[in-house]
Amino acid sequence: MTGSPLTRRGLLFGAVGAAAAGLLAACGDENSDSPAGGTSSGPAAGGFPATVTHQFGTTTVEATPERVVSLGWADADALLALGVVPVGVLDWFQAWPEGVGPWAKDRLNGAKPQVLKGPEINFDAVAGLRPDLVTLAKSDNKKETWEQLEKLAPTLSGPAGTQPYGTTLKDQTILIAEALGRRAEGEKLVAANDKALADAKAANPGFAGKKVCVAAAFGGQYGAYTRGDGRVQFMEALGFTNSPQIEALKPASFYAEISKERVSLLDADLTVVFGIGAGAELRKDAVLNSIPSAKAGRLLIIDDADLVNAFSTNSVLSTPYTIEKFVPLVKDALA
């Protein structure tokens, strides 16, 4: 994948250029001094040792983990949904003092995990938390990162055959549940998530078969997401089909770069564009608003940071939040 670290972050999180960078940096300064003090509630006794298979081999957890550190994108949501409060959380968005979004905050039960500024990993900080389990189920899939963490504690990675940042909600939840000796609970969470999406799909039959293009705006251009991305998977679960002209580009990563000169590629039955802090600018963008979906009122611009981040997170805890906040906007855009 080409582009600067800001481009990568922008495409991962739906951020927009310097405005988003400033927002993330400002929030990140608040997070950097978050106190330690999170504790694992711990899974029920039994089911150990637990051996989990992932893309780099297997990881064995010998006994009930008491000090779990969440480093994978949205791993904390899966842990909290399973009743385990990590002692440390890598805040990929650098957006919340607690390290997790508003959809997961209540699951902390007043605990204050050490919040590690992401997305880069500070190995010394992780070591200082004395973990007995590290989760890295959704990440850039760099083996050297996993190997370094594995020296500190048993460490999960994503499943084999998964592109960077492409671990699905189901795989992420089940992998973490297996490491906690709670696979059955993980399967119930995934089933509940699937039912919530199926119910939203059934309540909106007009979504079925509609073509959608989901993109982030950054640095004067766009990144359109492909089927390997969780945002597209969410839309597909509602009945949408991802834009064939975007899929035809066959990008090497989870998105295709779209220049202003090729903005017509964003046209679809529904075009969704994320731009934290740049909604007004995007709504006035003559080039973006020249595409047929925009002229027909089917361009949906989202600049609410929590909603963008919930949709991007695609976890068992963020899904209900996204359904509640985002689906009505989609319905209105297609009306």
- Cα 97–Cα 102–Cα 105 angle in degrees, nearest 5: 70
Q: Is the torsion defined by CA of 318, 323, 329, 333 positive or negative?
A: positive
Whether the pTM exceeds 0.85: the reply is yes
177 and 212 share one domain: no
Q: Is 284 exposed, middle or buried (0-12, 13-18, 19+ CB in 10 A)?
A: exposed
How many helices and strands (H and E) does the chain possess? 13, 13
Would residue 16 count as lying in a domain? no
Q: Which residue matches tokens 């650098």?
A: 94
Would residue 121 count as lying in a domain? yes
Would residue 99 count as lying in a domain? yes
227 and 247 share one domain: yes
Would residue 18 count as lying in a domain? no
CA–CA gap between residue 38 and residue 89 (Å, rounded): 9
Q: Which domain covers residue 253, as residue numbers?
A: 204-334
How many angstroms separate the Cα of 152 from the Cα of each of 38, 69, 135, 270? 19, 11, 12, 46
SS3 state of residue 158: coil
Of 163, 195, 227, the residue at which a domain comes to its end is: 195
Of 169, 195, 221, the residue at which a domain comes to its end is: 195
User: Could you tell me the mean pLDDT of each successive run of 10 residues in the chain, 335 residues long?
Assistant: 43 45 32 39 64 96 96 96 97 85 96 89 97 96 96 96 92 97 97 98 97 91 91 97 96 88 96 84 91 96 92 95 97 95
138 and 222 share one domain: no
CA–CA gap between residue 283 and residue 262 (Å, rounded): 18
CA–CA gap between residue 175 and residue 183 (Å, rounded): 8
Q: Give 33-87 pLDDT, tens digit per residue.
A: 333 444 444 444 457 999 999 999 999 999 999 999 999 999 999 999 999 999 9
Total number of domains constituting the chain: 2
224 and 254 share one domain: yes
Would residue 116 count as lying in a domain? yes
Of 195, 220, 240, the residue at which a domain comes to its end is: 195
Are 70 and 171 contacting, i.e. CB atoms less than 8 angstroms apart? no
244 and 129 share one domain: no
List the CATH number of the domain containing 254.
3.40.50.1980
48 and 129 share one domain: yes
